[in-house]
Structures are given as structure tokens and as C-alpha cells.
Amino acid sequence: MASFLADAVVYLGAAVVCVPVAKRLGLGSVLGYLLAGIVIGPFLLGFIGEEGKDIMHFAEFGVVMMLFLVGLELEPALFWKMRKQVLGLGSSQLVPTALVLAALALLLGFTWQGAVAAGLAFAMSSTAIALQSLKEKGLMHTSAGQGSFAVLLFQDIAVIPILALLPLLATTNVIAADGGHWIDTLPGWQRTLAVLVAVGAVVALGRYVVVPLLRVVARTRLRELFVASSLLLVVGIALMMETVGLSPALGTFLAGVVLANSEYKHELESDLDPFKGLLLGLFFMAVGASINFDLIAGAPGTIIGITLLVMLVKMVLLLLIGRRSGFGFDQNVLFAVGLGQVGEFAFVLLAFIAQLAILDAHWTDTLMAITALSMTLTPLFMLVSEKLILPRFGTVQAEERPADEVEVRHKVIIAGFGHFGSTLGRLLRANGVEATILDNDSDQVDLLRKLGFKVYYGDATRHDLLEAAGAHEAELLVCAIAPEAAPALVETVHKHFPHLKLHVRSRNRMDAYELMDQGVLHIHRETLDTAIHMGVSVLQDLGMRHYTAHRAGQNFRRYDEAALKELAAKRGDKVDYITSVREKIAEQEELLRKDLHHDPSHSDHAWDSEEMRDAAKGR
């Protein structure tokens, strides 16, 4: 126990010290965790772990948790909507990259089986690093963010057939040593069959066992029991896959996909998300700690050279793919650099390759060192591209205006000019209100400039960019960026420009609650406005007078906004929250029914024609 607590203090202490420093220097949290792992690892201060691989074995549970949540987001409808992008971008990245890297491995003297196995492992990119970095910068909804997600999703799915293929590349049967798995004694074709059977078992368990079990747990209305059940689900499936010698991450990813359409999807996400963040931080520290500097010191030129060559090959191929897909320069660079490393699944695949004796121990250790080194270098490469390459060659960002230059300052700033922001901006401009527009999607900025909009490129959550856009003189800021990035912008505005009135876009009620906690007064829910507008239209088509239908919609909005403020304070207690929601729904419906008893005919002449009123009365 004392040893466990000591290790926990070292991990948490290193994270608390290194991550804020890295964030302050603009390096990002991922690089902060990696540096923390290097500092406390066995090859520098030696505070934790006798061998990096042991640390990695424990910390991979962070990736297991993350891939379960990624699987939960993969609803069949979303996958079908993205099928062309996932299959097109994903296959055009994975297949050529694996072939080119396999050819390089042949030049290094690998057997063809070893070259194919290494090429497939090294074709993988890091879901953890790429998605975490894109989310931190609010770039998930840009062309690069969507393209990266599509490629990573294809890679995650491709792991299943790759794991099934690897046993067929084994040239010898490996006898399981002490602590090994029974699957190690099987011939190649039987191992392939075992992989497929395990995949089928996870799908069947998720559909016919897990969902009914969660229904039983949900009836207890004890949140802590549901959290325990969520963790049991992830740990249990990981253990099952580990027992048969397969990837725990693969099993939990499949389980997430199976549960993506269940009624417990959002509850599972909210319960596991805090654990995911903490465990991913542990994973990044473990990657840093697992870098075998003794091995690198023995052949620094070879290992560093191969690492840079692999990353260069991957980035060049990604640049070609991005250009073919129509990405602009900025988005293409983000796309290539973000996916240019070797990913965490390579650790899983290389461990399986070692079990199958496709590669010898020396090359397996070397490839693992290259994998960890490439993951460590990626945040640095992203920083170089962000600070040096994109400002010089990419879309021009909003420039600082000279202090003595007289220039018109707009009263309104719009942050985010996608479909939502551009509609709002056109409405304002049509009514004589000019606005300063900010957007961090360079492709969107280039397009809008061609359409005649004066748009500044940059991250609106940065206070220096808001300063350059005239936030200190503006009166109002419209936050139309992706709802998940809105809290960061609100925090920046409250800290540096407290005089600004804020109107913030939110996706739903849960987003609104978070913004209310930050003191935002004007919150505009997408789902509310669209649903009310559609409801009014339906009522009109059913024969209700336009004035009556419009008034019903306005009353519903007023009642719902009032209920939102009351329910926000109760959402911490799930049972109390559900009871209050049921009471508010009944109360709203009763008020709306009473509203219908009022006769609006004396004031609705401006809304409907005489013919329409006669039709509504049944004449």
C-alpha cells in the first residue's frame, strides 16, 4: 500500500508541476504529461518503474477508457453519414502508409512477414494525442479535425482485421511460457478464429447482457452504483480480452460501438469522462517514462533517424491525401502533423507481434522506442507548425492594429462563422449592423473572404486575438463557436473584457447548465429554437391560427426558460432532478392548455387572412 501511495504521489505531483508549466509556455497539456513522465521515469530521476514497458502495461488502461468513449460516439447513423470520408480518407492513409513503411523495413533487412507486420503497426496514428490536441485548440469541427477523426476511426476499426491477420504471418508456433496465454499454443488459423470469436462475444454480451443489466441498475436510482457498473463494464471486458491474449482496447472499443444506440449512452459518457481524462494523463506520462534512453544511447543515430524518417513518410503521404481531399494549406498541415506519429495501438500490435515471434526481441524493443519517441515529438512538431510555419505560409491571422491608426471599430464581434454564425451575421448585416468576424477554420475563412466577408483567422479564445479585433471597445460578443469550446471563450471574456455583453450558442440543455454556472445571461439553445419553430409550423398546418400558434410557441419558450433556471440548481441530485423535471413538464402543459382558452380572434387579424380564419372555424 505504501509503495502504491508513493507512486501515486509521484505521478500526481509531476503532472501538477509539469502540465501547468507546459500550458503556460504554449506547449499543450499532452507534451506536459510526456515531459513529466520522462523526468520521473526510470532513465532520468528513476522515481517510478524499473522498466518502462511495465508502466505502459498499466497505463494503457487510459487508452482502453478513451476508446470505449470513442466507440460510444460512433452511432451507426453517424458512421453511415461519414462512411465516404471514413472509408475514403482512412483507406487512402492506412494502405499506402503500410506498404511504404513495409518497403523501408525490407531495406533494413526484415523478413517479408516482419516487414508487413511492422508496416501495419507503424501505419497507426495516436488517437489520444491527435484528438486531445485538436480538442484543446477547438479544432475538432474544422476540415483537419473532421479528416483526422475519420482516419483515426478507420484505424480503430482496422485493428480488428489486422489482429486477425498477424497470426497468419507467424512462421513458427510459440509455446506459452509461464504466465502466457493458452492462445499462444494455437496454430495461426486458429488464433485468427479466436480473434473473430472474441469480437463476436463482445458484441453479443453488449447487446444481450450489458443493456439489460444497466436497466436493472438504473432502476435503483443510485448514481454511484451506475458509476460502479460503468467501470465494471470497461474493466470486465478489458480483462476478458486480456485473458484470451487479445487487445483490451479493441474489446472496449467494440463494446462502446454496441452501446452507442442504447438509452444509457449519455449516462455512460458522463460517468466515465472524468476517469478518462485522468487515465489519459497517466498514459502520456507512461509513454514518456517508457522511452528507453539506454537503448537510444546505444544507437542514437539509427533510432532517431528511423523515427524522423517514419514521421516524414507519414506526413508526406498525409499531405498528399489532404491535398487530394481539397484541404487548404493550413488545414492540410494540421492534418499531416497531427497524425504523423506512430500511435498507441502500435504498442498493442508490437506486443502481439513479439508473442508470435514475427520479429526478434531487439527489433521489437527498438520499434517500441521509436513509437514512444514519435509520440513525444508530435506536440513539438505541432508547436513548430503553429508558431513558425502557419504564420509565414498559411492564412493570415488578424493583425495587431497600430495605436495611432484611425480605424472603424465595430460594436459587435462574432466568434465562429460556420453555418450558425454566418446566418446570424447575414441577418445583422442586412439590418445595418456590421460585425468583426473571427473563425479558426482557415478553409472557411478563405471561402468567406471570397464571398465578400471581412473575416479574421484565429482562435477566438485567445485574449490577444480578441484585443486585436477590438474587444476592448466593442459592446457585445456573439459566441457561435462549437459549444464544447464556448466555456473557454466565456472565461477569457470574463477575465480580460468583463464589459462585453455575451450571447452564447449552446447545443442543448446540458451545455446551457455549464454556461449558466459561468454567469452567462443570454444563452441560445439550438435545439430549443428549431424545435419550437417546427412545432409552430406543425400547429399552423393542422389549422391553428397563425397568431395562436405563434403565441403558443412564445409561451412555451418563456415557461421553458424559467424552468431551466430552477432545474440548473438541482441537476447534481439525479433523483431530485428527474422529479423536478416531471413536475415542470406537467406544470408547463397545464399553463399552455389554459392559454388555449383565451380567444385571440380580436387581435389576430394581422396574422391571418379572412379566408384562413373562416377555414379554421370550419365554415
Do 258 and 202 meet the contact criterion of CB atoms below 8 Å apart? Answer: yes
Task: Report the range of poorest mean pLDDT among 8-17, 188-197, 318-327.
Answer: 188-197
DSSP 360-381: -HHHHHHHHHHHHHHHHHHHHH
> 2-391 and 412-617: same fold?
no
Quick one: pLDDT band at residue 320, thresholds 50, 70, 90? very high
Mean residue pLDDT across the chain: 76
Supply the pLDDT for residue 411: 86
Residue 79 pLDDT greater than 60, yes or no:
yes
Higher pLDDT, 386 or 474: 474
What's the pLDDT tens digit per position in 51-65? 445 555 555 666 677
Diameter of the chain measured on Cα atoms: 95
Residue 525's beta-bridge partner residues?
506
What are the structural domain ranges in the chain?
A: 2-391, 412-617
Supply the pLDDT for residue 407: 45
**Cell numbers found for residue 183:** 492462445
Supply the pLDDT for residue 616: 46
What's the pLDDT tens digit per position in 170-201? 765 544 444 455 565 666 667 667 767 877 88
Write the burial class of residue 402 (CB in 10 Å: 0-12 exposed, 13-18 middle, 19+ buried).
exposed
CA-closest candidate to residue 52, choices 301, 283, 311? 283
Write the burial class of residue 80 (CB in 10 Å: 0-12 exposed, 13-18 middle, 19+ buried).
exposed
Task: Report the range of poorest mean pLDDT among 11-15, 220-224, 458-462, 575-579.
Answer: 575-579
Task: Report the range of poorest mean pLDDT among 225-239, 350-364, 467-481, 557-571.
Answer: 557-571
Share of the chain above pLDDT 90, in %: 7
Supply the pLDDT for residue 520: 82
At 16, which amino acid appears? V
What's the pLDDT tens digit per position in 87-114? 888 889 999 999 999 999 999 889 998 9
Supply the pLDDT for residue 612: 47
Reduced to 3 states (helix: H, G, I; strand: E, B; else coil), residue 433 is coil
> Whole-angstrom Cα distance, residue 189 to residue 579?
56
Q: Given this structure, which CATH class describes domain 412-617?
A: alpha beta
Residue whose C-alpha cell reads 447482457 in the numeric block: 209
What is the reported pTM?
0.61
Supply the pLDDT for residue 318: 92
Residue 314 pLDDT greater than 90, yes or no:
yes
What's the pLDDT tens digit per position in 270-306? 777 777 667 777 777 877 777 777 788 888 888 899 9
Residue 619 pLDDT greater than 50, yes or no:
no
For the segment 311-320, the average pLDDT, to the nearest whole number, is 93
**Cell numbers found for residue 586:** 406537467
What's the pLDDT tens digit per position in 231-240? 788 788 877 7
Higher pLDDT, 171 or 388: 388
For the segment 221-226, the average pLDDT, to the nearest whole number, is 74
> Whole-angstrom Cα distance, residue 404 to residue 394?
28
The CATH code for residues 2-391 is: 1.20.1530.20
DSSP 552-567: HHHHHHHHHHHHHHHH
Residue 544 pLDDT greater than 90, yes or no:
no
Helices (H), 41-142: 52-59, 61-73, 76-81, 83-107, 112-122, 127-136
**Phi, psi of 473, rounded to the nearest 5 degrees:** -110, -15
